[in-house]
Amino acid sequence: MKLLRYGAPGSERPAMLDDQGRIRDLSAHLPDIDGSALTPASLARLRDIPVDTLPLVEGQPRIGACVGRVGKLVCSGLNYADHAAESNMEVPSEPLLFMKATSALCGAYDDILRPPGAEKLDWEIELAIVIGSRAKRVTESEALSHVAGYCVINDVSERSYQLERGGQWMKGKSSDTFAPLGPWLVTADEVGSPNALDLWLDVDDVRRQTGNTRTMVFPVATLVSYVSHFMTLEPGDVIATGTPPGVGMGIKPEPVYLKDGQWIRAGIRGLGEQHQRVVSA
């Protein structure tokens, strides 16, 4: 299934894509696509609904973040060896974790708002894991059974805030709109293995990032297990798994950062594509 949320910010409604890529409203069956909707029991009920009986959503509504009321947004840094190299940082010996504020979440097609004083705005295409059942100190062999599905996330980063303001990465990761999520969540049964997915990102039609999740230092099951030993993961929590090479900070001989008016287009095979315009807040 491909699940999504549509409507104005703060008033999103739950929906599902049909086989023709049309939006079908799920409001009669659940209030939102959030943790309570992503449990195994809830997903089983949704699979039993004949899609063609759901109301068709007309027009082109705004698409919101594909998961609502996210409790935690956990990120894995330097999880591709070639990205660590371009960042002049060592490959971590175990997953490097940081948090993004959940207030950074926005829709896949919403504008990215450059905060005042931001001069090194960067892009990072990543696979996001969405948790479907509570995971507390789970083994790697158990980990994927706790995953509801996967989606695209752009881990937008203001590098000056991240690296020049006292060493706390989340400072450069948490501004409003710095976490476009979606356009939809694809359930785990439809994705199959999450460790062989192509990723790409373009800026103004110039290909900047190309990668595949098979080259992650720590694959999906390892990340879910590892994070669950430091915090209990709840349904609806999101884990961003790191970015492949090609970020603006790593471009040689000089870094290239985003300017107002530029467009980002990013996608993952089977999970859809998102695009954003950069504007001043």
The answer to whether residue 47 is domain-embedded is: no
Give the CATH number, domain containing residue 212.
3.90.850.10
Mean pLDDT computed over 32-55: 98
The answer to whether residue 62 is domain-embedded is: no
As to burial, measured by CB atoms within 10 angstroms (0-12 exposed, 13-18 middle, 19+ buried), residue 140 is: middle
Task: For 13-43, write each residue's pLDDT tens digit.
Answer: 999 999 999 999 999 999 999 999 999 999 9
The answer to whether residue 219 is domain-embedded is: yes
The answer, yes or no, to whether residue 167 has pLDDT greater than 80, is no
The answer to whether residue 77 is domain-embedded is: yes
Strands (DSSP E) found in the chain: 2-6, 13-17, 23-25, 73-77, 96-99, 105-106, 112-114, 121-122, 125-131, 147-154, 157-158, 179-180, 185-187, 198-203, 206-212, 238-240, 263-268, 272-280
pLDDT bucket at 165, cuts 50 / 70 / 90: confident
The answer to whether residue 270 is domain-embedded is: yes
The answer, yes or no, to whether residue 91 has pLDDT greater than 90, is no
Average pLDDT of the residues of the chain: 96
Q: Cβ of 225: how many Cβ atoms within 10 Å?
A: 21
The answer to whether residue 243 is domain-embedded is: yes
pLDDT of residue 81: 81
pLDDT of residue 168: 80
Task: For 133-161, write each residue's pLDDT tens digit.
Answer: 999 999 999 999 999 999 999 999 999 99
Report the share of the chain in percent with pLDDT over 70.
100
Range of the domain at 224: 68-280
Residues 6+ apart with CB under 8 A from 251: none
pLDDT bucket at 88, cuts 50 / 70 / 90: confident
pLDDT of residue 62: 98
Task: For 242-280, write each residue's pLDDT tens digit.
Answer: 999 999 999 999 999 999 999 999 999 999 999 999 999
The answer to whether residue 249 is domain-embedded is: yes
Q: Rounded CA gap, 75 and 169, in Å? A: 10
Q: Rounded CA gap, 157 and 255, in Å? A: 14
Q: Which pTM value belongs to this model? A: 0.97
The answer, yes or no, to whether residue 89 has pLDDT greater than 80, is no
Mean pLDDT computed over 61-75: 98
pLDDT of residue 30: 97
In degrees, rounded to 5, the angle at the alpha carbon of residue 29 between the alpha carbons of residues 23 and 32 is 70
Total domain count, the chain: 1
pLDDT bucket at 82, cuts 50 / 70 / 90: confident
* Cross-strand pairs, 239: 74, 129
- For residues 179 and 73, the answer to whether their CB atoms sit within 8 Å is yes
Task: For 186-204, write each residue's pLDDT tens digit.
Answer: 999 999 999 999 999 999 9
The answer to whether residue 122 is domain-embedded is: yes
Alpha helices in the chain (DSSP H): 40-47, 81-86, 140-143, 159-163, 188-191, 220-228
